[in-house]
Amino acid sequence: MSRRSFLAWSGLVGAGVALTGCSPHGEEKAKDEGAADATPAAFEYDSTHWSGCHVNCGSRCPLKLYVKDGTVVRVGNDNEGTDDFEPGGIYQMRSCVRGRTNRQRIYNETRVQKPLRRVEGTKRGEGQYEEISWDEAIDQIATTMKEIKDEYGNDAFYIQYGTGQLGGTVAKSWHPDKTAFARLMNLYGGYLRHYCDYSTGQINWELPLFNGDAYSNNEVTDLVNSKNIVLFGNNPANTRMSGSAMQYLITQVRLQNPEAHIVVVDPHLSDTAIGVANQWVPIRPCTDMALVAGMIHHLFTEGKLDEELIRSKFIGFFSDTFVEDVKQGEPKDTSFMGFDKAGALVIDEDMSYEAYLKGTGAYEGTGEKTPEWAAAITGVPADTIRALADLFVDGPTATIQGWGPQRHSAGGNNARAIALIAAITGNVGISGGGTGAREAVGGVPYKVATAIPTFPEKNTVDVCVSFFDWYQAIEDYQSMDDATWGVRHINEKGATIYAEEPGTIKLKAPIKFIWNYASNVMAGQHADINDSLRIYNLPDEKDSGVRMIVTVDCYLTPTALVSDIILPGTTAFEEDDIVTGGTAWTGFVCCESAAIDPLFEAKPVYEICTLIADKLGLKDQFTEGKSQLDWVKWSYEQGVEAGEDFPATFEEFREQGLFKKTDQHEPAIATDEKIATPSGKYEVFSKQAYNLSKQWDLTCGGYVPDDGRDQITGLPIYYNNVEGFGDEATKADYPFQLIGHHTKTRTHSSYGNVEWMKSVAPQQCWINEQDAAALGVENGDDVIVSTERGRSQLSAKVTPRIMPGVVSIPQGAWYDPETRDAATIGSKDVLDKGGCISVLTSARPTPISKGNGVHSNLCKIEKA
């Protein structure tokens, strides 16, 4: 049956055609479908099924699949409801164009068809696999798990970050602690957990140093009340593309608030800037904190700041109260960073923001932070800085930061500084203003269960690592403690706790076993692929080297190819599940029914975990007698119990599939009544951060060179960060700042194997016209981009839409080395021909959050 569906589909595009390799046919087909839109009768189907796009753009759009003879013949979107954007309106949860291309994901040439095992004696990354049966695969996995548990205990197991099935409930892949694997592993005694994620690595911990909260902001619908809207590195035109999401909302804001002055501060002229902004302020990557200092210097010297507000609600700004101020900011217990049990870390010099602005006190000799000073660093003209600053005191002014600014080697200081300009100008807690965090998108949630129970209380592993640092736990777990790598305690509720004494929280075992479910992290979305390959191929010894990597994915991704066992996973369209979402005044729940049977030998992850549980003697506990569909029903029942107005029977609920609701609430306004910092005030100077700077070993136990380039600073100031604008030494060989924006054709690496998407916007390195001219590079020329870590080839997009000195490679393209030869695996000289930025990025952890500063890179460009 499955095989037949597959062939039937290939018949649709021309028999014998390589499905992803042949764009001409794909394109023709795309045109046919366009024509079909005008004449719906042009395609035939015998059933429709609600399903959804579960990848991690976050929107989880419902999709309607049309099936004929067991083959998906069309993927449509939500076409029920209206197009009205208003309180009480139920508008369509329309998917983006990627979602509509899912036939090319279901019937993709790269699908994993059978369980595969790495050929013995070959290296991870070489790509040599043999087919094995499901029985053999499950047996080998369970046997290895038992061995590892006996030798190392549960600390040696890791569930990798993976978001390809973020939208699922039973099939959920993110958060890893809410997955079927977490349920299985907790029943088995537990696994090493990680804190935070690739999205918000720095802002999550470092914005709260200033205001106690990384995520609250005014609901996006409130932007109709703003006089000015300033977006720092926020590009919803790319990152929130669904018809129900932010891009739609901000377009509505443009229409409904035509007077608003919208500014986008971004190194590249993003589609958001083009689509809705009045002004683009090009800025050098990771210099926003210098821009903010220049702005505040201007406002302060012009007397435009409200001194009373600052004295009552902020600490660490003024020199005269500084020493007393910071006493209030002392972390009181281990729920805060930098707890100083002995009370030894006393400050008696002036480290206030005022001193910083003036270049006095602790900052003697650093000069005044005038707009001219900021201009030299940021590349933003001083007059533009002054005019931008004035917008914040002529409000209400909304401040929103995307997560680009924080994904840098000093990104936490960016995040804090952007929130500082919003708060210090009195824009927090008012309609039309906002906190400077990312926008809040609202929504009216359905109270169904969105994850199966996972028994975290059974997890015996009480320490956790940063999401970004698992690689070090393969190579040298003994170097990892709280003061070197930010290892933390984790309690039954999953809350992380800091050390009472620096250096006392340690890992107990190396990572020996990794589950990769719906994750392309390990040879895709992490960083420094070459060094990662070296780490994956370390010999399996007592204290280092991984023993087994198991990947469950639909596709033979670069990460699958570093695994020992690859298991064919079903796509979301081949299983039953339930998904929720919504924005502004709406919410939806979609009860999804498998549109087709699993292709080839693919299995749903719940079934895979059940098979393993069975081998481990845990089947009954794992399933509680429930099938996947029973869990979907259970989720529905939770909704009924919580009072949702659902049909009386699950069968009717499932039959209808998509439910939407609405309310008429006023846009939520983020308040500053309760600030969850130690002082309860805005901490311009963070004593927590200052203490860490004294307590922590910023070389990460010797992993990072002792070059003073990683700093933890009490104030959110600009410093000469790793591979930043001021890194003159590295710039001698690698003169360009390289960032990597999230692009429209993919969600990370997902959809990266869809020919229709590739044909719309090929993978290209954005480079300014002046820079290209100097290099003799023309639009469309192939270039090789290299950093100290690797080389990648792709074509150049020569454009005025990126500032000179900066280049950007859209992140998420599939790593495609010119050779997978065993002898050169992990070599920096191997050329990647996929345009994959992760060959170029650095795995050096950020100083406070131990996260991913992957937008901070210096590179050189050569014509290929």
Interacting residues toward ligand SF4 by CB under 6 A = 53, 55, 57, 59-61, 95-96, 98-99, 241-242, 747
Question: Which residue number, 210 or 317, has a Cβ lying nearer to ligand MGD?
Answer: 210
Residue 434 contact, options ligand SF4, Mo ion, ligand MGD, none, Cβ 5-8 Å cut-off depending on partner type? none
CB-CB contact of 393 with 425 (8 Å): yes
288 is a site residue for ligand MGD (CB under 6 A) = yes
Name the amino acid, one letter, at 679.
S
d(CA 623, CA 634): 13
Q: How far is the CB of 196 from Mo ion (least distance, A)?
A: 11
Question: Which residue number, 108 or 199, has a Cβ lying nearer to Mo ion?
Answer: 199
Residue 5 contact, options Mo ion, ligand MGD, ligand SF4, none, Cβ 5-8 Å cut-off depending on partner type? none
CA 186 to chain centre: 25
Sites for Mo ion among residues 162-201 (CB under 5 A)? 199
Q: For the window 400-419, what string marks contact with ligand MGD as x by the rule CB under 6 A?
A: --xxxx-xx-----x-----
Question: Binding segment for ligand MGD among 20-28, 156-164, 619-627, 688-696 (CB under 6 A)?
Answer: 156-164
Q: For the window 354-393, what string marks contact with ligand MGD as x by the rule CB under 6 A?
A: ----------------------------------------
Question: Which residue number, 163 or 530, has a Cβ lying nearer to ligand SF4?
Answer: 163
Question: Which residue number, 242 or 525, has a Cβ lying nearer to ligand SF4?
Answer: 242
513 is a site residue for ligand MGD (CB under 6 A) = no
Beta strand 764-768 pairing with 806-808: antiparallel
The torsion angles phi and psi of 565, rounded to 5 degrees, stand at: -130, 130
CA 267 to chain centre: 19
Question: Which residue number, 26 or 404, has a Cβ lying nearer to ligand MGD?
Answer: 404
Angle of helix 371-378 relative to helix 382-392, nearest 10 degrees? 110
For residue 262, the SS3 value is strand
Name the amino acid, one letter, at 458.
K
815 is a site residue for ligand MGD (CB under 6 A) = no
Question: Binding segment for ligand MGD among 60-68, 147-155, 516-524, 771-779 (CB under 6 A)?
Answer: 516-524
Eight-state DSSP code of residue 126: S
CB-CB contact of 857 with 840 (8 Å): yes
| CB-nearest residue to ligand SF4 | 99
Q: Is the dihedral of CA 138, 139, 141, 146 positive or negative?
A: positive
Q: Is 189 left (phi over 0), alpha (psi -120 to 50) or beta?
A: left
Total of residues contacting ligand MGD (CB under 6 A) = 66
Both ends of the chain: CA-CA distance in Å?
A: 47
Token code pair at residue 705: 């060179």
d(CA 423, CA 547): 50
Token code pair at residue 179: 């997955």
165 is a site residue for ligand MGD (CB under 6 A) = yes
Q: For the window 61-90, what string marks contact with Mo ion as x by the rule CB under 5 A?
A: ------------------------------
Name the amino acid, one letter, at 365.
G
Question: Which residue number, 209 or 594, has a Cβ lying nearer to ligand MGD?
Answer: 594
Question: Which residue number, 149 or 268, has a Cβ lying nearer to ligand MGD?
Answer: 268
Transcribe 83-112 into DSSP letters: ---STT--B-----HHHHTTHHHHT-TTB-
The residues with which 565 forms a beta bridge, in sequence order, are 117, 550
Q: For the window 829-858, what string marks contact with ligand MGD as x by the rule CB under 6 A?
A: --------xx--x------------xx---
Residue 610 contact, options Mo ion, ligand SF4, ligand MGD, none, Cβ 5-8 Å cut-off depending on partner type? none
Residue 792 contact, options ligand MGD, ligand SF4, Mo ion, none, Cβ 5-8 Å cut-off depending on partner type? none
Total of residues contacting Mo ion (CB under 5 A) = 1
701 is a site residue for ligand MGD (CB under 6 A) = no
Q: How far is the CB of 498 from Mo ion (least distance, A)?
A: 25
Please state the three-class secondary structure of 542-611 as a single string.
CCCCCCEEEEEECECCCCHHHCCEEEEECCHHHCCEEEEECCECEEEEEEECCCCCCCCCCECHHHHHHH
Computed on alpha carbons and rounded to an integer, the radius of gyration of the chain in Å comes to 26
Binding site for ligand MGD (CB under 6 A): 54-58, 162-165, 198-199, 232-235, 238-239, 241, 265-268, 270, 283, 285-286, 288, 402-405, 407-408, 414, 518-521, 524-525, 552-555, 557, 569, 571-572, 739-744, 746-750, 811-812, 837-838, 841, 854-855
